[in-house]
């Protein structure tokens, strides 16, 4: 594939079309090429999905027990049914509203604490050991204790999801605040700007890319903690529904809910990624510190 | 230049010593020792010297970003303790805010400074004026990462100017640029500084550079620094006529001055270079 140029150098033909997602921005791709790249990506996606579905189907035939492993067709039917009778929407709403509350709280408290720790050494020295101690403990570990204290209801899953989302947000905020280029703070100081304006207009935007990374990680962790918390600690929600249908031995519905959890988690991450691109265009463009 | 000496200085450094103490090891570095320097209203002062002799240290202290360990640092009779809008700084790495456009960067000082921030319409006028002055018209809404090196430099310069400081401090502002761009910006700098204006209407400039040619071309006076510990060796007066033009560089007078400065620092420049390898 190597082409010989008249200067004697050997060059590889550009192969951007073969790597979707890795297409360099600003690289001279024509509209045609872009469409082919997109189509190629869709094709690869469909192909791997098809392979996965075929293996699943063969596996379920081999197991031969619809309770242990239902076929993809049964599962799809169950999914359609859940949409048709509207059952899915109640559970999705319950779970998403818990996520909204816990994630919102985690953002507000996590970012505040992260700023305090990032900007004040004393606070950092005081709080950091506690954060480091609690952080490695999975939120799930707190569920039994949480059931004693909070009982089964809204509070328990919300608290567990908050716990999962909180630490990634705190830690990434601290990193973001501490990593602010001191040159930029100096540049603001020599313009005669107040400390408040520096926090608002220099430290905040400089830390924002890291904060958003923390938010994405936090949302993911909260979403994962949700299922576990709802399995035992809630009267509604996606995790609750999984446990409900497991007890009824209706495995296709269980799988349908698992699929919904995955899909929503994915969409949530896409949403936050879009927000990241929207809020911090300079960081996406690889613009360094200047 | 005799008139200069009779004036009261705008900025006065009296026997300044700066010692850095490493936070953990407690190791002391004597960056500069007993530096005395007067900077006069409307003058263009260049500081040259070997790497590590304390040029940035002096500039940062005038900016108020660092405090001297000993000695007096006064501007208009008042001691300098903190940064202030009356002393603008252009940093070597520009330090533009990456999340702000050219316009927003330039607007930053007039908008958020504690001393007399401007209203939106006044700001607009000022920003437009300085964008035109540094020839960034058409790039107002670009982000720093979308600019060339020379454009970033201009933007940093306009940001400092738009805050309308009395004193402009520049730390090797052209060091990262290619030779042609540097020559062009040097000429522009003199134009913007107000070479044609009477001295009282000019800004006071302290300009650090490694380029001896650059120093002679720009300056009214050149402070030549020396190492171990950093101190000012001589202050040369550059009595070349203004406005200055490119052709000046070829004259014998210019060459003589440049050569004299080079003779003063060549020995240490070699040493500093060899040390670093
Ligand atoms: N924050 C610091 N902590 C400790 N030592 C420092 C610090 N800043 C500068 N120094 C030391 O002080 C001396 C002078 O540094 P300075 O940056 O002022 O030199 P400079 O003349 O600007 O050099 P260059 O031309 O390379 O920019 C150097 O020996 C340097 O190692
Ligand atoms: Mg320096």
**What's the ipTM?**
0.88
Domain assignment present for residue A12? The answer is: no
- What does the alpha-carbon distance between residue A136 and residue A218 come to, in Å, rounded to a whole number? 14
pLDDT in tens, B217-265: 999 999 999 988 899 999 999 999 888 988 899 999 999 999 999 998 8
With CB atoms and an 8 Å threshold, state whether A202 touches B97: yes
The structure's pTM equals 0.82
What CA–CA distances, in Å, run from B122 to A155, B129, B142?
53, 11, 22
Predicted pLDDT at A1: 37
Mean of the pLDDT values across residues B143-149? 92
Q: Lowest-pLDDT range, B168-172, B181-185, B220-224?
A: B181-185
Predicted pLDDT at A151: 84
Successive 10-residue mean pLDDT values, chain A, 290 residues = 41 43 55 86 89 90 85 89 88 93 96 96 95 90 88 89 95 96 95 94 95 95 90 87 90 91 93 91 58
Share of chain B above pLDDT 90, in %: 65
With CB atoms and an 8 Å threshold, state whether A193 touches B109: yes
Q: Rounded to 5 degrees, what are φ and ψ at A18?
A: -80, -10
**pLDDT at residue B23 above 90?**
no
Domain assignment present for residue A203? The answer is: yes
Same domain? For A41 and A170 the reply is no
Nearest CA to ligand 1 atom 25: B51
Show the DSSP H helices in A14-30 as ranges.
none
Residue A177 neighbours by CB under 8 Å, 6+ apart: A114, A115, A117, A118, A119, A203, A207
Show the DSSP H helices in A64-120 as ranges.
72-84, 87-119
Read off the DSSP letter of residue B230.
B
Same domain? For A205 and A126 the reply is yes
Q: How many domains does chain A have?
A: 2
Whether the CB-CB separation of B208 and B47 falls below 8 Å is answered with yes
- CA B231, distance to chain mean position in Å, is 18
Helix H or strand E segment including B226:
strand B221-226
CATH code where residue A278 lies = 1.10.3720.10
Domain assignment present for residue A109? The answer is: yes
Predicted pLDDT at A8: 40
Smallest-distance ligand from the CA of B61: 1
State the residue range of the domain holding A215: 71-285
Q: Which chain A residues are Cβ-neighbours of B163 within 8 angstroms?
A: 191-192
Predicted pLDDT at B192: 86
Same domain? For A59 and A93 the reply is no
Predicted pLDDT at A281: 83
Predicted pLDDT at B142: 93
Q: Which chain A residues are Cβ-neighbours of B95 within 8 angstroms?
A: 181, 183-184, 186-187, 289-290
Predicted pLDDT at A206: 95
Read off the DSSP letter of residue B33.
E
Q: Which chain A residues are Cβ-neighbours of B143 within 8 angstroms?
A: 281-282, 285, 287
With CB atoms and an 8 Å threshold, state whether A183 touches B99: no
Domain assignment present for residue A4? The answer is: no
Mean of the pLDDT values across residues B97-111? 95
Same domain? For A38 and A143 the reply is no
Predicted pLDDT at B277: 52
Nearest CA to ligand 1 atom 28: B52
Structural domain boundaries in chain B? 41-68+77-86+166-277, 96-164
Whether the CB-CB separation of A161 and A225 falls below 8 Å is answered with yes
CATH topology classification for B41-68+77-86+166-277: Rossmann fold (3.40.50)
Same domain? For A276 and A179 the reply is yes
To the nearest whole Å, the CA of A276 is away from the closest chain B CA by: 13
Same domain? For A220 and A102 the reply is yes
From the CA of B230, give the closest atom in ligand 1: 14
- Could you tell me if the CB of B212 is within 6 A of ligand 1? no
b/e per residue B104-142 (b: at least 16 CB within 10 A):
bbbbbbbbbbeeebbeeeebeebbeebbebbebeebeee
């Amino acid at each position: 594939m190597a082409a010989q140029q008249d200067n004697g150098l050997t060059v590889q033909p550009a192969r951007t079309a073969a790597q979707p997602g890795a297409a360099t921005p600003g690289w001279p791709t024509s509209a045609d090429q872009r469409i082919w790249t997109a189509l190629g990506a869709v094709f690869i996606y469909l192909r791997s999905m098809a392979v996965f579905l075929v293996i699943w189907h063969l596996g379920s035939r081999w197991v031969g027990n619809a309770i242990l492993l239902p076929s993809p067709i049964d599962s799809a039917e169950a999914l359609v049914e859940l949409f048709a009778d509207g059952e899915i929407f109640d559970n999705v709403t319950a779970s998403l509203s818990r996520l909204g509350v816990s994630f919102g709280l985690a953002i507000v408290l996590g970012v505040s604490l992260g700023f305090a720790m990032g900007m004040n050494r004393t606070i950092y020295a005081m709080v950091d050991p506690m954060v480091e101690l609690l952080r490695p403990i999975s939120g799930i570990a707190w569920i039994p204790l949480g059931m004693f204290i909070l009982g089964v209801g809204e509070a328990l899953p919300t608290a567990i999801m908050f716990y999962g989302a909180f630490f990634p947000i705190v830690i990434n905020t601290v990193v973001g605040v501490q990593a602010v280029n001191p040159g930029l703070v100096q540049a603001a100081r020599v313009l005669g700007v107040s400390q408040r304006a520096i926090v608002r207009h220099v430290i905040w935007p400089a830390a924002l890319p890291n904060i958003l990374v923390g938010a994405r990680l936090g949302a993911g962790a909260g979403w994962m903690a949700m299922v576990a918390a709802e399995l035992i600690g809630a009267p509604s929600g996606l995790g609750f529904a999984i446990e409900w249908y497991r007890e009824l031995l209706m495995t296709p519905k269980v799988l349908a809910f698992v699929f919904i959890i995955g899909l929503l988690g994915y969409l949530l991450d896409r949403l936050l990624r879009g927000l990241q691109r929207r809020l911090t265009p300079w960081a996406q463009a690889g613009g360094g510190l200047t | 230049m005799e008139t200069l000496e009779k004036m009261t200085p705008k900025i006065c450094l009296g026997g300044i010593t700066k010692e850095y103490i490493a936070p953990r090891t407690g190791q002391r570095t004597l960056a500069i020792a007993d530096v005395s320097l007067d900077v006069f209203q409307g003058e263009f002062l260049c500081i040259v010297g070997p790497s590590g002799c304390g040029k940035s240290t002096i500039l940062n202290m005038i900016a108020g970003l660092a405090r001297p360990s000993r000695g007096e640092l006064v501007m208009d009779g008042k001691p300098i303790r903190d940064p202030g809008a009356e002393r603008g700084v252009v940093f070597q790495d520009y330090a533009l805010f990456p999340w702000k456009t050219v316009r927003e960067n330039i607007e930053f000082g007039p908008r958020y400074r504690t001393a007399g921030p401007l209203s939106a319409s006044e700001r607009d006028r000022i920003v437009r004026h300085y964008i035109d002055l540094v020839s960034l018209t058409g790039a107002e809404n670009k982000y720093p990462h979308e600019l060339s090196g020379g454009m970033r430099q201009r933007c940093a310069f306009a940001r400092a100017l738009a805050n309308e400081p009395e004193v402009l401090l520049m730390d090797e502002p052209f060091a990262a640029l290619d030779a042609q761009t540097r020559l062009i910006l040097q000429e522009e700098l003199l134009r913007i500084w107000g070479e044609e204006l009477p001295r009282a209407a000019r800004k006071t400039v302290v300009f650090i550079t490694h380029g001896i040619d650059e120093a002679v071309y720009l300056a009214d006076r050149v402070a030549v620094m020396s190492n171990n510990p950093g101190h000012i060796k001589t202050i040369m007066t550059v009595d070349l006529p203004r406005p200055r033009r490119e052709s000046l560089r070829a004259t014998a007078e210019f060459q003589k001055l440049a050569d004299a400065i080079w003779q003063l620092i060549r020995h240490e420049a070699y040493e500093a270079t060899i040390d670093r390898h």
